[in-house]
């Protein structure tokens, strides 16, 4: 940690952090979800508050205690996450999308619990794509100079390495910074540690060695702070 003697370099800044994973309901008791624990987003919220920022934490389905001194907005679905993030972003100096929004949702949500058929058949679930919140807030900057940060968990594939995919995603999203994790093997989920490269639209590539999510959060805020106008 930076220690108690550090200047609160985010004092007076408003930041928005999203955390956790969204759920898309099939019926009142079932949903499609993902493995995001929310630990990285909560570390970002906690460290920003410790560095003096006003923090809004938009939290999706996380079982972690509210960080002290942070405004927490709870959401479940990607649409709710979008609404909360867009609203909070209107006055923000920085937005960090650490949440894992579900990419797809069922075309319709059954009002009644879906029952099994006697013939052993299973229902087909038709999905539609969810809105891309990061691309939207990057495109429609609510405030000039607001710094927008995304995350990408990549494994690399035939089309490119983890970093190639990260560069392409950064360009596609239009954000200022993209924190790229190599998740080959699924090691990051629920872990307190992380290892990443922070790519900048300005060409920067900051390698963050293996360490705690708190340590990574501090480096992310360092990179955000130096991009404030």
Q: Is 5 annotated as a binding residue?
A: no
Catalytic residue list contains 194: no
Query: Closest separation between CB of residue 125 and ligand CTP, Å?
Result: 18
- Measured over the CA atoms of residue 35, residue 107, residue 103 and residue 77, the dihedral's sign is negative
Please, which residue, 50 or 179, has the CB nearer to ligand CTP?
A: 179
Please tell me whether residue 79 binds ligand CTP under the rule CB under 6 A. no
Helices (H), ranges, 10-150: 39-50, 78-89, 133-139
Query: Closest separation between CB of residue 102 and ligand CTP, Å?
Result: 8
Please tell me whether residue 41 binds ligand CTP under the rule CB under 6 A. no
Q: Is 151 annotated as a binding residue?
A: yes
Q: Is 228 annotated as a binding residue?
A: no
149 closest CA partner among 77, 81, 75, 99: 99
Instruction: Indicate which residue of 34, 61, 181, 194 is catalytic.
Output: 34
Q: Is 116 annotated as a binding residue?
A: no
Looking up tokens 């995603």, which residue turns up? 169
Q: Calculate Rg over the CA atoms of the chain.
A: 18
Q: Which of 48, 97, 180, 219 binds ligand CTP (CB under 6 A)?
A: 97
Rounded Cα–Cα distance for residues 182 and 144 (Å): 32
Q: Which of 133, 146, 188, 215 binds ligand CTP (CB under 6 A)?
A: 133
Q: Which does 151 bind (CB under 5 to 8 A by kind): ligand CTP, Ca ion, none?
A: ligand CTP
Please, which residue, 70 or 151, has the CB nearer to ligand CTP?
A: 151
Please tell me whether residue 36 binds ligand CTP under the rule CB under 6 A. no
- Taking CA atoms, 196 is separated from 73, 96, 154, 157, in Å, by 27, 15, 11, 18
- Taking CA atoms, 109 is separated from 9, 25, 120, 148, 165, in Å, by 45, 6, 22, 32, 33
Contact 56, 15 (CB under 8 A): yes
- Taking CA atoms, 7 is separated from 10, 54, 216, in Å, by 9, 15, 19
Q: Is 131 annotated as a binding residue?
A: yes
Please tell me whether residue 162 binds ligand CTP under the rule CB under 6 A. no
Please tell me whether residue 101 binds ligand CTP under the rule CB under 6 A. yes
Query: Closest separation between CB of residue 222 and ligand CTP, Å?
Result: 19
- Structure tokens, 184: 């080959």
Interface positions with ligand CTP (CB under 6 A): 78, 97, 99, 101, 103, 130, 132-134, 150-152
Catalytic residues: 34
Known binding residues for CTP = 103, 113, 131-134, 151, 169, 173
């Amino acid at each position: 940690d930076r220690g108690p003697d550090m200047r609160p370099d985010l004092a007076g800044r408003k930041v928005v952090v999203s955390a956790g994973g969204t759920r898309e309901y099939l019926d009142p008791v079932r949903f499609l979800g993902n493995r995001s624990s929310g630990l990285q987003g909560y570390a970002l919220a906690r460290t920003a508050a410790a560095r003096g920022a006003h923090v809004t934490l938009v939290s999706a389905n996380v079982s972690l205690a509210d960080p002290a001194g942070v405004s927490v907005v709870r959401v479940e679905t990607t649409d709710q996450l979008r609404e909360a993030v867009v609203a909070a972003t209107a006055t923000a100096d920085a937005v960090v999308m650490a949440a894992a929004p579900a990419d797809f949702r069922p075309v319709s949500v059954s009002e009644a619990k879906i029952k099994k058929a006697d013939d052993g058949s299973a229902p087909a679930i038709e999905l539609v794509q969810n809105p891309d919140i990061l691309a939207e807030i990057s495109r429609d900057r609510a405030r000039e100079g607001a710094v927008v940060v995304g995350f990408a968990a990549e494994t690399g594939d035939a089309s490119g390495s983890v970093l190639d995919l990260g560069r392409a995603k950064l360009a596609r999203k239009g954000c200022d910074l993209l924190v790229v994790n190599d998740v080959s093997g699924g090691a990051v989920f629920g872990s307190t540690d992380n290892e990443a490269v922070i790519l900048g639209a300005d060409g920067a590539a900051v390698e963050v060695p293996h360490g705690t999510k708190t340590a990574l959060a501090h480096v992310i805020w360092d990179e955000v702070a130096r991009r404030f106008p």
